[in-house]
Amino acid sequence: MTDKVSFTAMEHGTREDYELLARHDREYASQLADRVLQWLRQMDGESPYRISRLEHCLQTATRAERDGADDETVICALLHDIGDILAPNNHSAVAADLLAPFVSEKNEWIVRHHGLFQGYYYFHHYGMDRDARDRYRGHEHFDACADFCARWDQVSFDPDYETLPLEHFEARLRALFAKEPRPFV
């Protein structure tokens, strides 16, 4: 890239500078699906689970699809753990922030909270409250998140489950990230 902004502090930028940045940002954003697919592929490696982290994501999405979930929800199931590649200590929040401009508030909430809701299945092994998710009981998306975890996420570590390949989901993933994102606020 040869074009550069004229400023060294944002307060000195001109309209032309910010138009240059906007063009660059649009081009970079148009490649988001490619980067997400690369991150997913990076999750295909050794794991202490009986399957790779990628296989877990694919299995979760496969279960969602076979249960009749809509395309957006299936792709959220595919990407619910994508944050593991960037921030394993807060993977749910990272995945939710990635998806938020492109998905419904409901799906964003489910992805954001699925890590806590998954705790129902193992927190007690660490002396933690397995019902920690109950602080959200009564929230309009509580049951949907609990169902996501029960039906698709926590059961998707099975090496014998017939899982669909990444290529099966690619067009829908690309379509999701090709949507006009909600504005940043």
Instruction: Give kind and range of the element (H or E) at residue 176.
Output: helix 166-178
- Whole-angstrom distance, CA of residue 97 vs CA of residue 123: 24
- The answer to which of 1-5, 26-30, 133-137, 176-180 has the lowest mean pLDDT is 1-5
pTM: 0.93
Please give the pLDDT value at position 183. Answer: 80
Write down the domain spans for the chain.
Answer: 12-178
pLDDT for 61-80, tens place per residue? 999 999 999 999 999 999 99
Please report which confidence band the pLDDT of residue 8 belongs to, taking 50, 70 and 90 as the band edges: very high
Please give the pLDDT value at position 107. Answer: 98
Please report which confidence band the pLDDT of residue 13 belongs to, taking 50, 70 and 90 as the band edges: very high
CATH architecture of 12-178: Orthogonal Bundle (1.10)
Residue 2, number of CB atoms within 10 A of its CB: 3
- Whole-angstrom distance, CA of residue 158 vs CA of residue 134: 28
Please give the pLDDT value at position 185. Answer: 60
Give the mean pLDDT of 151-158. 98
Please give the pLDDT value at position 52. Answer: 98
Please give the pLDDT value at position 43. Answer: 97
Give the mean pLDDT of 33-54. 97
- Whole-angstrom distance, CA of residue 82 vs CA of residue 76: 10
User: DSSP states of 92-144 as a string?
Assistant: HHHHHHHHTTTS-HHHHHHHHHHHHHHGGGTGGGGTS-TTGGGGGTTSTTHHH
- Whole-angstrom distance, CA of residue 1 vs CA of residue 64: 42
CB 181 within 8 A of CB 101: yes
